[in-house]
């Protein structure tokens, strides 16, 4: 059973998915010894030879065309999550009808896993730029497929969790994609700030930020002809990175082939620099595209967005974020929504760009 609940006080939606408590967890008991690590690998459902332990694949890259589906020989593999946060078939919440004080709804949508590599011990930083490019192309393909499969979806979030402090329960490197019937509050806030900045200046917020960061240069970590990587001015996490495309588009699906190649190169650099500064760092990798309107004509499912995006649907500049999880959130952070970051952005950028 999965369903959506909204906090009437903050406006934040929560997906309640009790079934996810049953998912396997490589980190629950810790994996210190070689024998334990080997045991985890031999029982990992994402490793080659264990394809029958996952739902049937919906996408594969790298396997011979003549090979059977759900067999070995793949390089990247995608399938529905066995313990989904969203369900393809809508289920009515089992509590009383929604009211102003208890808003709720069906957690209808999709939840997929993209296994990044057949090698159990290969993290995202270990993947070649060529392999990362293939992964990015796979994400674009599955993002579009999820939008097509769920016409009432308003958002598809692609993210990766590496390490237990970042929320990973399986050590084998993988990304996840979740389509949701509501737009996440953080994306609503970002969309609102994009529109406000354009109304005040006539410019895109992130396009202006690119110019400002390159002029100042103290928070720039890396750049190429298509991308800029910065330590955000108000970083929530130590060594946080924001990867911004120079060409202003609403989503990664609009990248051309060269831009994806350049993204793979600079993403590989950024992940390896994080590994150099904090070996074994746990982190989240998040892709923020623009919200999408329901294809059934029901708008964005959010009164603020429906009003904001009536004539300004293109006012979003998509981007990626690398969010290291080097310390746990405590009472102040969880009680206020604020963050406490012990490493200023300028110091983080200097350490990350240092060769």
CATH number at residue 64: 3.30.428.10
Total domains, the chain: 1
> What is the per-residue pLDDT for 253?
96
Say if 260 falls within a structural domain. yes
> What is the per-residue pLDDT for 288?
95
pLDDT in tens, the chain (355 residues): 667 777 665 666 766 666 776 778 777 655 455 555 555 678 899 999 999 999 999 999 999 989 999 999 999 999 999 999 998 886 666 666 667 888 888 888 999 999 999 999 999 999 999 999 999 999 999 999 999 999 888 999 999 999 999 999 999 999 999 999 989 989 988 998 999 899 999 999 999 999 999 999 999 999 999 999 999 999 999 999 999 999 999 999 999 999 999 999 999 999 999 999 999 999 999 999 999 888 888 888 878 788 888 777 789 999 999 999 998 888 888 888 888 888 999 999 999 998 7
Say if 223 falls within a structural domain. yes
Say if 77 falls within a structural domain. yes
Say if 88 falls within a structural domain. no
Domain that holds residue 310: 33-82+109-353
> What is the 3-class SS of the chain, one letter each residue?
CEEEEECCCCCCEEEEEHHHHHCCCCCCCCCCCHHHHHHHHHCCCCCCCCHHHCCCCCEEECCCCCCCCCCCCCCEEEEECCCCCCECCCCCCCCCCCCCCCCEEECECCEEEEECCCCCCCCHHHCCHHHHHHHHHHHHHHHHHHHHHCCCCCEEEEEEEECHHHCCCCCCCEEEEEEECCCCHHHHHHHHHHHHHHHHHCCCHHHHHHHHHHHHCCCEEEECCCEEEECCCCCCCCCCEEEEECCCCCCHHHCCHHHHHHHHHHHHHHHHHHHHHCCCCCEEEEEECCCCCCCCCCCCCCHHHHHHCCCCCCCCCCEEEEEECCCCCCHHHHHHCCCCCCCCHHHHHHHHHCC
> What is the per-residue pLDDT for 212?
96
Say if 70 falls within a structural domain. yes
Say if 6 falls within a structural domain. no
Alpha carbon distance 123, 67 (integer Å): 26
Say if 209 falls within a structural domain. yes
User: pTM above 0.85?
Assistant: yes
List CB contacts of 197: < 8 A, sequence separation 6 or more.
203, 204, 205, 208
Say if 294 falls within a structural domain. yes
> What is the per-residue pLDDT for 262?
98
> What is the per-residue pLDDT for 97?
67
């Amino acid at each position: 059973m999965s369903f959506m609940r909204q906090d009437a006080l903050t406006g934040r939606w929560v997906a309640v998915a009790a079934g996810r408590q049953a998912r396997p967890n490589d980190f629950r008991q810790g994996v210190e010894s070689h024998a334990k690590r080997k045991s985890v690998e031999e029982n990992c459902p994402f490793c080659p030879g264990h394809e029958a332990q996952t739902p049937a694949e919906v996408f594969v890259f790298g396997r011979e065309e003549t090979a059977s589906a759900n067999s070995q020989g793949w390089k990247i593999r995608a399938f529905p999550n066995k313990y989904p946060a969203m369900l393809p078939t809508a289920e009515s919440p089992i509590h009383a009808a929604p009211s102003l004080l208890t808003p709720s709804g069906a957690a209808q949508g999709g939840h997929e896993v993209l296994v990044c590599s057949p090698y159990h011990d290969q993290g995202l930083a270990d993947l070649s730029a060529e392999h990362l490019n293939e992964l990015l192309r796979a994400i674009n393909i599955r993002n579009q497929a999820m939008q097509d499969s769920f016409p009432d979806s308003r958002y598809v979030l692609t993210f990766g969790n590496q390490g237990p402090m970042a929320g990973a329960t399986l050590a084998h490197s993988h990304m996840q994609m979740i389509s949701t019937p509501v737009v996440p509050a953080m994306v609503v806030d970002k969309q609102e700030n994009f529109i406000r900045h354009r109304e005040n200046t006539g410019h895109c917020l992130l396009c202006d930020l690119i110019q400002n960061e390159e002029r100042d240069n103290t928070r720039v970590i890396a750049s190429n002809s298509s991308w800029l990587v910065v330590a955000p001015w108000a970083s929530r996490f130590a060594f946080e990175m924001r990867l911004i495309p120079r060409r202003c588009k609403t989503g990664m699906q609009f990248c051309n082939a060269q831009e994806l190649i350049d993204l793979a190169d600079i993403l590989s650099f950024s992940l390896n620099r994080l590994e150099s500064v904090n070996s074994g760092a746990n982190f989240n990798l998040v892709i923020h595209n623009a919200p999408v309107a329901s294809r059934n004509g029901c708008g964005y499912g959010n009164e603020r967005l429906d009003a904001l995006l009536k004539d300004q649907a293109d006012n979003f500049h998509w981007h990626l974020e690398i969010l290291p999880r080097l310390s746990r959130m405590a009472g102040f952070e969880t009680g206020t929504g604020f963050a406490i970051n012990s490493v200023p952005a300028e110091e983080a950028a200097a350490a990350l760009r240092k060769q």
